[in-house]
């Protein structure tokens, strides 16, 4: 089972547990500005994902993985990313980034 974890700079960041094998990371750029980062992972077992607000409160939520959208294959997760980030002729693109960079910004 595959999942997509989303972080939005300046709003919140998603921190996976050790029960999610991280596979690849993508920055969503809209007219050259990174609006979100998506990390694709394989769900090894049910777990919780931390979602940390990046405002002054720093609120931390532990979200059970059962609430994450799941995909049977990595190809299905890629198709969902393309669907989320395709806006016709607007300058929107997915840029592959190395996982260490993704983990550092998470």
Task: Give the mean pLDDT of 91-105.
Answer: 76
User: pTM for this structure?
Assistant: 0.86
Looking at residue 84, its pLDDT comes to 81
When divided into structural domains, the chain yields a total of 1
Range of the domain at 80: 2-105
Contact 27, 103 (CB under 8 A): no
pLDDT digits (tens, 9 = 90+) for 30-62: 999 999 999 999 999 999 999 999 988 889 999
- For residue 91, with 0-12 CB atoms within 10 Å meaning exposed, 13-18 middle and 19 or more buried, which class applies? exposed
- Chain centre to alpha carbon of residue 100: 14
């Amino acid at each position: 089972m595959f999942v997509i974890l989303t972080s939005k700079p300046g709003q919140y960041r998603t921190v996976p547990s050790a029960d999610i094998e991280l596979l690849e990371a993508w920055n969503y750029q809209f007219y050259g500005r990174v609006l979100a980062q998506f990390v694709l992972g394989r769900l090894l077992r049910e777990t919780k994902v931390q979602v940390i607000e990046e405002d002054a409160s720093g609120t931390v939520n532990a979200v059970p993985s059962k609430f994450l959208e799941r995909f049977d294959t990595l190809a299905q997760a890629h198709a969902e990313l393309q669907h989320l980030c395709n806006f016709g002729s607007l300058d929107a693109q997915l840029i592959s980034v190395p996982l260490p960079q993704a983990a550092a910004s998470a």
